[in-house]
């Protein structure tokens, strides 16, 4: 080991070609999105505040509750629950703790007395609905119908973007309709008859969007999908709109571990499917992470990475404790196009002097995830310039170390939002190395008097375009190995503890 290696090279070639192009094109969009989120935060919150709780605070939730149709519980609950409650305080989590008067409800999903629609369409990031009761889908019509058990429910309609970022206008919305009353009360308002009745719950979500970018694959889909569906232990059906076969192929192991059933291509599904529980849309709690307060079963990002290690049968759950005989292994991610390290051999020698066994890898979009996961898991430390390759931290053993090299130009806040916080949430140690002007190729390209070098704040004030063009798009990094040495030493210290 220790030589140049590629992160895999075979499989899904034609998909991958497209994927790579898409990935490249959306690369900047990714950073723009998080940049905007971060700028927005800057405007309204203290500098050290994080976005963790923001979605929850800002979300407006509408809870509609109705009595169930079981004989023994219905009359008792009717008066209490038939009324529509509207909660605008924004503090009610999607997954509520059960009400005391539901304590005697029968445990199995088929006989549950719950009938409610909880939609959350005003959040800053995601739009979702949780539907319990009589739920019917017509995929090709992009419609979901909720038939309330209560005769006094009013008709309501929500438009839900099933991709985790509501701003993703390339992904079509789904219409969720709550009918006015139950069919027994008003046969004219009857929904279409069930062609298929499912006795497992379903999660409806969209692909497309920014998928194809490795970081977005995880942040926008895999992590929120895990949070939405893990509680079902595989007994859940995925209804996928904007279905991308290459994506399902690439992440098949993860999708299979979450759902035992073949995913339904929603856009081509004209049959009416009936469920007792349906989640519409995926909720992004926080970039590349999970907020336990918002997740069913209080799942954490560390749970997600443990799940990945299990899914890909990754052997290492903890890093090496360095000894004289056993060196920890450091993986240096060498980007191919921009934000590259220009002095890889020198960095490698510095890391070796610090006591690491070093591998250098170039991420490839067409690499089978299984191979990448195994390769990354065999290391203890991941080192790379800010970019999608650092997403591979999800495969490190818990307690491992990630060193993010932040390119010149005041990109620290974005770097922390995209990787710093997620990495800490994964149970890894996070180290950050900010590149000085002298280590940036922008200095020799533009000279010391250019505003990009002299005054990064002014570049940020001018807007996103120049930030993306210079700091993200035209910059490579020549690490000053003397300045970098203490960071490497710190990484080693973390492993000794």
Ligand X SMILES: *[C@@H]1O[C@H](CO)[C@@H](O)[C@H](O)[C@H]1NC(C)=O
* Residues in contact with ligand X by the rule CB under 6 A: 138, 140-141, 192, 270, 272
Of 7 and 243, which CB lies nearer to ligand X in the complex structure?
A: 243
Of 266 and 350, which CB lies nearer to ligand X in the complex structure?
A: 266
Of 49 and 192, which CB lies nearer to ligand X in the complex structure?
A: 192
Of 192 and 436, which CB lies nearer to ligand X in the complex structure?
A: 192
Write the secondary structure of the chain as one string of H (helix), E (strand) and C (coil): CCCEEECCCCCCHHHHHHHHHHHHHHHHHHHHHHHHHHHHHHHHCCCCCCCCCHHHHHCCEEEEEECCCCHHHHHHHHHHHCCCEEECCCCCCCCCCCCHHHCCCCCCHHHCCCEEEEEECCCCCCCEEEEEEEEEEEHHHCEEEEECCCCCCCCEEEEECCCCCCCCCCCCCEEEEECCCCCCCCHHHCCCCCCEECCCCEEEEECCCCCCCHHHHHHHHHHHHHHHHHHHCECCEEEEECCCHHHHHHCHHHHHHHECCCCEEHHHCCCEEEEEEEEECCCCCECCECCHHHCHHHCCHHHHHHHHHHHCCCCCCCCCCCCCCCCCEEEEECCCCCCCECCHHHHHHHHHHCCCEEEEEECCCCCCHHHHHHHHHCCCEEEEECCHHHHHHHHCCCCCEEEEEECCCCCHHHHHHHHHHHHHHCCCEEEEEECCHHHEHHHHHHCCCCHHHHCHHHHHHHCHHHHHHHHHCCCCECCCHHHHHHHHHHHHHHHHC
Least distance in angstroms from the C-beta of 393 to ligand X: 43
- Of 180, 190, 189, 182, give the one whose Cα is nearest residue 157: 180
Least distance in angstroms from the C-beta of 271 to ligand X: 6
CB atoms within 10 A of CB 193: 8
177 SS3 class: strand
Least distance in angstroms from the C-beta of 474 to ligand X: 49
Question: In the complex, which residue's CB is closest to ligand X?
Answer: 141
Least distance in angstroms from the C-beta of 142 to ligand X: 8
Least distance in angstroms from the C-beta of 366 to ligand X: 36
Of 177 and 434, which CB lies nearer to ligand X in the complex structure?
A: 177
Of 192 and 489, which CB lies nearer to ligand X in the complex structure?
A: 192
Of 38 and 240, which CB lies nearer to ligand X in the complex structure?
A: 240
Of 243 and 453, which CB lies nearer to ligand X in the complex structure?
A: 243
Least distance in angstroms from the C-beta of 265 to ligand X: 14
Least distance in angstroms from the C-beta of 102 to ligand X: 33
Of 155 and 268, which CB lies nearer to ligand X in the complex structure?
A: 268
Least distance in angstroms from the C-beta of 280 to ligand X: 17
Within 8 A by CB and 6+ apart from 188, the residues are: none
Of 137 and 391, which CB lies nearer to ligand X in the complex structure?
A: 137
Least distance in angstroms from the C-beta of 191 to ligand X: 9
Least distance in angstroms from the C-beta of 272 to ligand X: 5
């Amino acid at each position: 080991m220790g030589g140049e290696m590629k992160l895999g090279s075979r499989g899904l070639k034609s998909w991958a070609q497209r994927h790579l192009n898409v990935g490249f094109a959306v690369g900047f969009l990714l950073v723009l999105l998080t940049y905007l989120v971060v700028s927005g935060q800057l405007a309204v919150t203290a500098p050290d505040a994080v976005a963790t709780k923001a979605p929850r605070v800002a979300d407006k939730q509408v809870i509609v509750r109705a009595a169930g149709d079981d004989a023994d519980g219905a009359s008792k609950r009717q008066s209490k629950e038939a009324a529509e409650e509207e909660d605008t305080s924004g503090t009610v989590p999607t997954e509520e703790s059960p009400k005391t008067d539901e304590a005697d409800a029968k445990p199995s999903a088929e006989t549950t007395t719950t009938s409610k629609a909880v939609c959350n369409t005003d959040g800053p990031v995601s739009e979702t609905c949780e539907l319990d009761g009589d739920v019917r889908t017509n995929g090709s019509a992009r419609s979901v119908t909720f038939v309330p058990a209560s005769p006094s429910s009013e008709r309501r309609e929500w438009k839900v973007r099933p991709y985790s970022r509501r701003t993703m206008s390339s992904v079509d919305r789904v219409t969720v309709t709550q009918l006015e009353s139950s069919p027994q009360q008003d046969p004219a308002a009857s929904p279409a008859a069930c062609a298929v009745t499912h006795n497992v719950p379903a999660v409806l979500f969209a692909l497309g969007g920014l998928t194809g970018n490795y970081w977005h694959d995880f942040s926008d889909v895999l992590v929120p999908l895990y949070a939405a569906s893990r509680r079902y232990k595989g007994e859940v059906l995925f209804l996928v709109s904007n279905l991308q076969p290459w994506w399902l192929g690439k992440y098949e192991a993860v999708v299979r571990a979450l759902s035992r059933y073949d995913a339904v291509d929603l856009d081509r599904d004209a049959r009416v499917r009936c469920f007792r529980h349906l989640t519409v849309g995926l909720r992004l709690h926080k970039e590349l992470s999970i907020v336990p307060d918002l997740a069913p079963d209080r799942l954490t990002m560390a749970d997600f990475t443990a799940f990945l290690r299990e899914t890909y049968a990754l052997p290492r759950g903890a890093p090496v404790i360095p000894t004289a005989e056993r060196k920890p292994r450091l993986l240096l991610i060498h980007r191919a196009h921009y934000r590259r390290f220009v002095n890889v051999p020198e960095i490698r020698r510095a890391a070796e002097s610090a006591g690491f066994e070093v591998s250098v890898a170039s991420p490839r979009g067409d690499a089978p995830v299984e191979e990448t996961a195994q390769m990354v898991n065999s290391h203890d430390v991941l080192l790379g310039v800010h970019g999608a390759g650092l997403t591979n931290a999800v495969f490190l053993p818990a307690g491992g170390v990630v060193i993010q090299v932040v390119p010149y130009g005041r990109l620290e806040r974005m770097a922390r939002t995209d990787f710093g916080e997620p990495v800490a949430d994964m149970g890894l140690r996070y180290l950050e190395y900010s590149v000085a002007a002298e280590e940036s190729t922008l200095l020799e390209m533009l000279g010391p008097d250019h505003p990009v070098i002299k005054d990064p704040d002014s570049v940020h004030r001018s807007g996103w375009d120049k930030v993306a063009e210079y700091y993200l798009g035209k910059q490579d990094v020549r690490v000053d190995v003397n300045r970098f040495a203490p960071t490497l030493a710190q990484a080693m210290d973390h492993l000794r503890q």
